[in-house]
Amino acid sequence: MKTNAFQERWSVAEVVRLRSLVVRKEREVAKRRRIQLVRVFIYLKYSADRRERGKNQVLIMDVKLKDNEAVQTVTFKPPLYKQRYQFIKQLVSEHKPKKVADLGCADCRLLWMLKFYNCIEVLVGLDINEDVMKEKMHTLSPLPGDFLQPSERSLTVTLLQGSVAHKDPCMLGFDMITCIELIEHLEEKELEKFPDVVFGFMSPTMIIISTPNSEFNHLLPTVTLFRHPDHKFEWNRAQFQNWALGAAARYDYTVEFTGLGAPPPGKDVGFCTQIGVFVRNYVKDEARDHLGKHQECVYKTVFKAVYPSLKDEKYLQNAVVGEVVQTAEIIAKKLLSHRNVEHGKHSDNSGETELASKSSHCFWRHLDYHSATDVDSNHMQPFINRCTAYVPLAHIFSFPKVNKLCGTFEKLNKLITGKIALSSDGSTVLIDVENENEENENYRYF
């Protein structure tokens, strides 16, 4: 009886405990139901900004329903930092600047993207944090392919350590300077000097400045005061525009305001990222830059890379020699094939002979089509004598790629002299076809 009573009491206690757990679980479920996250994808077209026309942006809006009060938070796809890079790339495509500097370049990601634009010849990154630049500066180094196929343009990439509050002559003469999410990291004294250094001293043709819009912050998840712990301030639209208009008026620039990251429908808070695009109103006096170059250098060079370029005669010579040899060898192979057909070496296969003859005929028609107009064609025809193919330089110069690389026949002569086997008068490239003939024979009887 005692055992049964104990079991009965235990069962009652367990039932009470289970009921308590059930009630607690129901409360948690009810609480979760009251706080729901609804992800709504809204496709917004940037029709107001001509630079973003035709591009779609996805605004992901989280609507939190808590205690019958709706609180909206937004994130963006693609992320805003990618949209900022795209904005700069679009401006580069439109304006074709030759010299571009990124102030506050940090991990050099924007510089890496810009190095692929053929219009840019000088690319400079400036940041106060040397260690951050060193972590990623290897991404700005030339690759093996850059040496194998040098570009027609010259490109120099430099990373500098220093403050935007200091003047350095190496920052003169730029077409475009970008300051992406930079000014909010500046101390008060640095911010005071910033306009005089960038607009007054550097005075590039175009300046792009982006900064967070504080009016948007309450829509961003996890943001309390500022978006980043290192931010010294964040401006609303009126504050940024007042500052930008003041700098533009003082240093004779025109500014256009735009932004990235549109707000949800019905929210009049402006773009998440506000942008000012400044364009210089005057033609810069070169003498002014010359005087500025006497300024003391204060920036430290952390990294510098000069890319291989056909503007450098060393790389141009290598490219020309390689192209001339390749062209001459192709012609020599065709000559050898044509001679073999004529000698009846392929008489055992009439179809193959006819095909080779047609191919050879098409080849010569192609060469005649590209023949140079200023050289007598009778003296341009290549030929084979015993084991050597003779390919006139004038004939090779008639090929578009060689012609484009050299520009003039005299330059072609200069670049290949001493690098390629030539005839005694230097007018003909000599190609040994004996080995080629042996290879063809071995292949034929394999």
Residue 28 pLDDT > 90: no
Q: Which two tokens stand for residue 118?
A: 């053929």
Q: Sorting pLDDT into bands at 50, 70 and 90, what band is 7?
A: very low
The average pLDDT across 408-422 equals 90
- pLDDT for 367 equals 45
For the chain, give every residue range classified as CATH 3.40.50.150. Answer: 80-306
- The Cα 389–Cα 5 span in angstroms is 115
- pLDDT for 16 equals 62
pLDDT tens, residue by residue, 103-153: 999 999 999 999 999 999 999 999 999 999 999 999 999 999 999 889 999
- The Cα 398–Cα 349 span in angstroms is 35
- pLDDT for 220 equals 80
Contact 243/235 with Cβ under 8 angstroms?
yes
The average pLDDT across 379-389 equals 81
- pLDDT for 373 equals 38
The average pLDDT across 180-198 equals 97
Q: Sorting pLDDT into bands at 50, 70 and 90, what band is 301?
A: very high
Residue 248 pLDDT > 80: yes
The average pLDDT across 24-28 equals 67
- pLDDT for 251 equals 97
Residue 279 pLDDT > 50: yes
DSSP track, 202-241? I--SEEEEEEEBGGGGGGSTT-SS-SSTT-S--B-HHHHH
- The Cα 141–Cα 147 span in angstroms is 11
Lowest-pLDDT range of 112-121, 272-281, 283-292, 394-403? 283-292
The dotted CATH code for 80-306 is 3.40.50.150
The average pLDDT across 162-182 equals 97
Residue 217 pLDDT > 90: no
Q: What is the CA radius of gyration of the chain?
A: 35
Lowest-pLDDT range of 55-59, 66-70, 144-148, 201-205? 66-70
Lowest-pLDDT range of 29-43, 63-77, 202-216, 240-254? 29-43
pTM over 0.95: no
Q: Sorting pLDDT into bands at 50, 70 and 90, what band is 285?
A: confident
Q: Percentage of the chain surpassing pLDDT 70? A: 71
With b for 16 or more beta-carbon neighbours within 10 A and e for fewer, the 153-163 pattern comes to: ebbebbbbbbb
Contact 297/139 with Cβ under 8 angstroms?
no
Amino acid (1-letter code) at residue 385: N
- pLDDT for 53 equals 40
- pLDDT for 27 equals 67
Q: Which two tokens stand for residue 13?
A: 């206690």
- pLDDT for 22 equals 64
Lowest-pLDDT range of 196-205, 235-244, 265-274, 376-385? 376-385
